[in-house]
Structures are given as C-alpha cells and as structure tokens.
Amino acid sequence: MTAALIDGKSIAASIRERIAGDAAAFRQRSGVTPHLAAVLVGDDPASAVYVRNKQRGCEQTGMTGSLHRLSADVSQSQLLELIARLNADPDVHGILVQLPLPRHIDDARILDAVDPLKDVDGFHPTNVGLLSQGRPRFIPCTPHGCQVLLREAGIRTAGAHAVVIGRSDIVGKPMASLLLQKGAGGDATVTVCHSRTRDLAAIVREADIVIAAIGRPHFVTADMIRPGATVIDVGINRLGQVLVGDVEFAEVSKVAGAITPVPGGVGPMTIAMLLGNTLRAARLQTGETLETAG
C-alpha cells in the first residue's frame, strides 16, 4: 500500500484564491481593507519566516499585513502597551502575537490582553470557550487547517476514531474539540494522547485518523499506524538543514491510506486559515453579523 498524498499546498492555494475574491467584495461594499498586525519579539529565525509568510499571504489576498518588531529584552509592560494600541486602532482588525515569547514574558497574560474580536489566532479564553460550546468565533488556525484537509481529502470523520497526539492549547486541545463537534468535519470519537499516556503506540494503532502534534521529529513510526489509516502531520522540526514532521514519512506512507507531507501539508493551511480569520474579523468589526461573516 502507498498512501495517497494530501497536498496542503494546492488546497491552501485554492482557499487563498477564494479569500482574495471575498476580500475584494468586502472592500468594494465597505471601503475597508482587512488589516493583520503581527507582533514579533526577538530574532528567532523560524518565527521570522512564519511571520514573513503570513505577511506575504496578506498581500496575495488583497489585505494589509503590518509587522511590529520588538527586541528580545522588551519588557512585558511595553509589549502590553503595544497590544493596547493595536486593540484601540480601528484600522487594525486582526492581531497575531508570534509564539514563542521570551521566557521573562507571561504568554497567557499577553494572549489574554488581545481584544477577543481581533484574536485571529483563536487563543483568547473567550474564543476558546466559544469553540468548546460549538459556536466558534475564530477557530485556531492549525487545527482548523487539519480539519479542512480531512474534508478536502474526502476523509469521513463521523463515527471515526481519531487519535490526537499532543495536548497543547495551540493544536492538540482545539483539534480534539473540533473533531468532537456535531456536523461536518466532526462527530468523531476522540482520544488525546500525550507524554504521560500509557501504551501510547497501542492506542494510536486503533485510530482511523491520527493527528500528530507532539513536536518530536519522526515520533510516529509505521508500526504505530493501522493499515489504511489517515495521518495528519502537524510537526515542523529541523534536523540539520532539513525540515521533517512528527511522522516518519517514508515508512508510514507505506502503511497509511492517506498522509500529509512536511513541508507542504498543514503549514500552508495554517496561513490560509489565518487569512480567513482576518477577513472574518474585519467583517465583524464593520458590523456584519456572524451569519453573514460566514
């Protein structure tokens, strides 16, 4: 068996094209250009690449992307002051604080400070709560991208056993919540595994769908995958000069029924979902209802 490749790059390109059309229609009827403000603290090379890709995505879809760079030794109060200014700026519709932040800064304090209506990452407690209740305002971008990949690949989630490896607030927990939701892309039976899970490999082998988001290169091996299962690899790890996922792709692809590559799988989808959230934020802030903001 050779797994079908789930091409996130091409799927994301199609979604960005649709978002570009929607953004153009929104500008025409409102006179407003959606604006994503990214905040980058320090000089981490990977974070800089991620932010640059997000800005490029804004440009490609007819939106504004601005960058606020701060030194690694910026104080927490200074960072909070910047977020307060962005919250108060009517021309800014989405705020993205690139993680990780330096150790002397409390991530939760910063993320909680972002206006929930501008929280396009979906990390504010208000938006997390709305998602858990099945009425999301902004869905966290990476798990949403995974869900859309499953849908676009024709993978049935209803009634399936999905195993999420990883319990982070950014991916693991919201991914489980999305798969549990009623309706399209949900209705799965979900197991969340993590570093303290006993017999993790045995649990993963029971899965119809595996979401690998544990942040360890090549953690998921072929003997952990049930033949024909779908594998979504969220991991982005650098081994020397090479980017690899949390899944040992070469061997797992011989067992799985469908699989995402790294790079070119979940990564482009994350950016596409962020752009969609930015447009949604602009619509909401200009008075469009949640129903029409879609």
In the chain, pLDDT over 70 holds for what percent of residues?
98
Residues 6+ apart with CB under 8 A from 1: 227, 228, 254, 255, 256, 257
CATH of 33-115, one of 1.25.40.80, 3.30.1360.120, 3.40.50.10860, 3.40.50.300: 3.40.50.10860
33-115 and 141-267 agree in CATH topology: yes
> What spatial distance separates the first Cα and last Cα of the chain, rounded to whole Å?
39
- 89 belongs to the catalytic site: no
Tens of pLDDT, residue by residue over 218-259, are 999 999 999 999 999 999 998 888 999 999 999 999 999 999
User: Averaged over 152-174, what is the pLDDT?
Assistant: 97
User: Averaged over 29-51, what is the pLDDT?
Assistant: 92
pLDDT value for 292:
40
User: Averaged over 149-176, what is the pLDDT?
Assistant: 97
Tens of pLDDT, residue by residue over 166-208, are 999 999 999 999 999 999 999 999 999 999 999 999 999 999 9
pLDDT value for 288:
81
Round to whole Å and give the CA distance between 118 and 104: 25
Is the separation of the CB atoms in 59 and 36 below 8 Å? no
Is the separation of the CB atoms in 44 and 292 below 8 Å? no
Q: How far is CA 132 from the centre of its chain?
A: 16
Is the separation of the CB atoms in 204 and 159 below 8 Å? no
Tens of pLDDT, residue by residue over 43-99, are 888 888 889 999 999 999 999 999 999 999 999 999 999 999 999 999 999 999 999
Round to whole Å and give the CA distance between 64 and 218: 37
Round to whole Å and give the CA distance between 121 and 88: 18
- 98 belongs to the catalytic site: yes
In the chain, what are the domain boundaries?
33-115, 141-267
Which segments of the chain are extended strands (E)?
4-5, 35-41, 64-70, 94-97, 161-165, 189-193, 209-212, 230-233, 237-239, 242-244, 258-259
pLDDT at 294 over 80: no
Between β-strands 4-5 and 258-259, what pairing exists: parallel, antiparallel or unpaired?
A: parallel
Q: Which one from 54, 55, 119, 246 is the annotated catalytic residue?
A: 54
The structure's pTM equals: 0.95
Average model confidence (pLDDT) across the chain: 95
Q: Which one from 22, 115, 119, 121 is the annotated catalytic residue?
A: 121
Round to whole Å and give the CA distance between 145 and 130: 18
User: Residue holding tokens 């595994």?
Assistant: 193
Task: Determine the CATH number of domain 141-267.
Answer: 3.40.50.720
Around Cβ 180, how many Cβ atoms within 10 Å?
16
Cis check for the bond before 268: say yes or no (omega within 30 of 0). Answer: no
- 28 belongs to the catalytic site: no
Query: DSSP class of residue 101?
Result: P
pLDDT value for 49:
87
